[in-house]
């Protein structure tokens, strides 16, 4: 089973989500419409609204709910929030491309990117408040705070390669996992009053989010031919992810010194990335990193088992298998 098959199981809710998304970000301002079209033309997997809707359906949300049900607007707000954070991230990281297309800051300007990101965030808050679910409003607000703290913590740690696993886990939990936890908990809130089920949904989201980021960080060390993404982006940006943290802990002193020397350079060319990858991504270190990833997936599996046993839970379980290394 692949992601497209899972999407077919919730085809109608996904259609409602897309309709709500188009309505929410629409504007009479021409440049906003242009940017909307630019982003829609190369949408990603839209995993966060997918998790929201799957979690809701798993917990009892009716598949044929009316189009004006607030869950669909909230799912649209969740995807818009994700896009806003990506737009702002691209400004911070000075990125020129995303998903093979020019970023908003590259095609327009940093000023335009920041402003349209702010526009999206304002639309998110309006939409969340209109849903009249105070617990959802609190969850989303807390998530925005957590993600901002995670990005700031990562910026603070750039260039420091001895941060340790605890700090690294805190960064990815705040940057990525808390958002996916919020998605799953939000979906459950619209479906059930059972606190135990809501808690299990949130735990599932957090662990799948941790695994998602761990897998992404591991794949940064794989060749472009395997992942379709440029190899070594994290190294070029001087970010300490798990493979590097493990290598700096376990490598011999000569290797550590050479890694530190290369990473001390402002600019890393392809030969530098190749050399660093050879020293860091050894079979032993990557195996240890995969053990961390698989441990999070097992925790996600345990949380999913506490959710209602139905086809949608099977889809959540399938997402775990898709992240397995």
- The pLDDT value recorded for residue 266 is 85
Say how far apart CA 244 and CA 277 lie, in whole Å: 9
Say how far apart CA 318 and CA 304 lie, in whole Å: 11
What domain range includes position 142? 3-323
Range in 9-18, 101-110, 301-310 the model is least confident about: 101-110
- The pLDDT value recorded for residue 225 is 66
Residues 177-189: what's their mean pLDDT?
98
Within 10 Å of residue 162's Cβ, how many Cβ atoms? Answer: 12
Of 203, 171, 215, 191, whose CA–CA distance to 321 is shortest?
215
State pLDDT tens for residues 275-323: 999 999 999 989 999 999 999 999 999 999 999 999 999 999 999 999 9
pTM of the model as a whole:
0.94
Residues 196-201: what's their mean pLDDT?
98
pLDDT at 224 exceeding the cut of 80: no
pLDDT band for 325, please (50, 70, 90 cuts): low
Provide the mean pLDDT of the chain: 93
pLDDT at 52 exceeding the cut of 80: yes
* Torsion sign (Cα): 148, 150, 153, 158: negative
Residue 205 main-chain phi, psi, to 5 deg: -60, -40
- The pLDDT value recorded for residue 14 is 95
Say how far apart CA 265 and CA 281 lie, in whole Å: 20
Residue pair 18/53 in contact (Cβ under 8 Å)? The answer is: no
Number of domains in the chain: 1
State pLDDT tens for residues 138-182: 999 999 999 999 999 998 998 888 888 999 999 999 999 999 999
Say how far apart CA 117 and CA 113 lie, in whole Å: 6
Residue pair 39/171 in contact (Cβ under 8 Å)? The answer is: no
Q: What's the distance, CA 46 to chain centroid?
A: 10
Q: Say which CATH number the domain at 105 has.
A: 1.10.600.10
* Torsion sign (Cα): 149, 155, 156, 161: positive
pLDDT band for 2, please (50, 70, 90 cuts): confident
Instruction: Read off the tokens for 96.
Output: 């020129």
Say how far apart CA 312 and CA 318 lie, in whole Å: 10
Residue 40 main-chain phi, psi, to 5 deg: -65, -30
Over the Cα atoms of the chain, what is R_g? 20
Of 295, 226, 232, 235, whose CA–CA distance to 260 is shortest?
235
Residue pair 177/48 in contact (Cβ under 8 Å)? The answer is: no
Residue pair 295/210 in contact (Cβ under 8 Å)? The answer is: no
Q: What is the DSSP letter of 176?
A: I
């Amino acid at each position: 089973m692949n992601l497209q098959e899972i999407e077919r199981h919730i085809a109608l809710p996904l259609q409602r989500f897309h309709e709500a998304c188009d309505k929410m970000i629409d504007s009479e301002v021409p440049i906003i419409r242009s940017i909307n079209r630019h982003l829609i033309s190369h949408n990603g997997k839209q995993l966060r609204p997918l998790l929201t809707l799957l979690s809701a359906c798993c917990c009892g949300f009716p598949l044929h709910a009316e189009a004006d049900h607030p869950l669909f607007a909230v799912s649209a707000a969740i995807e818009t929030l994700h896009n806003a954070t990506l737009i702002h991230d691209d400004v911070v990281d000075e990125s020129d491309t995303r998903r093979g297309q020019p970023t908003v800051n590259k095609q327009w300007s940093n000023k335009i990117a920041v402003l349209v990101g702010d526009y999206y965030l304002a639309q998110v808050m309006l939409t969340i408040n209109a849903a009249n679910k105070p617990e959802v409003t609190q969850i989303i607000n807390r998530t925005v705070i957590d993600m901002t703290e995670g990005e700031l913590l990562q910026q603070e740690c750039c260039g420091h390669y001895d941060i340790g696993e605890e700090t690294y886990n805190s960064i990815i939990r705040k940057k990525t996992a808390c958002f996916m936890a919020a998605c799953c908990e939000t979906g459950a809130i619209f479906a059930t009053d059972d606190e135990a089920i809501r808690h299990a949904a949130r735990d599932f989201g957090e662990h799948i989010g941790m695994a998602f980021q761990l897998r992404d960080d591991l794949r940064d060390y794989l060749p472009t031919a395997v992942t379709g993404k440029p190899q070594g982006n994290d190294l070029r940006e001087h970010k300490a992810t798990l493979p590097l943290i493990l290598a700096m802990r376990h490598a011999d002193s000569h290797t550590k010194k050479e890694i530190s020397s290369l990473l001390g350079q402002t600019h890393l060319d392809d030969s530098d990335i190749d050399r660093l990858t050879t020293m860091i991504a050894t079979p032993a270190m990557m195996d240890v990193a995969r053990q961390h990833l698989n441990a999070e997936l097992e925790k996600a599996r345990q949380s999913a088992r506490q959710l209602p046993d139905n086809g949608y839970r099977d889809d959540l379980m399938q997402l775990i298998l898709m992240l397995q290394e």
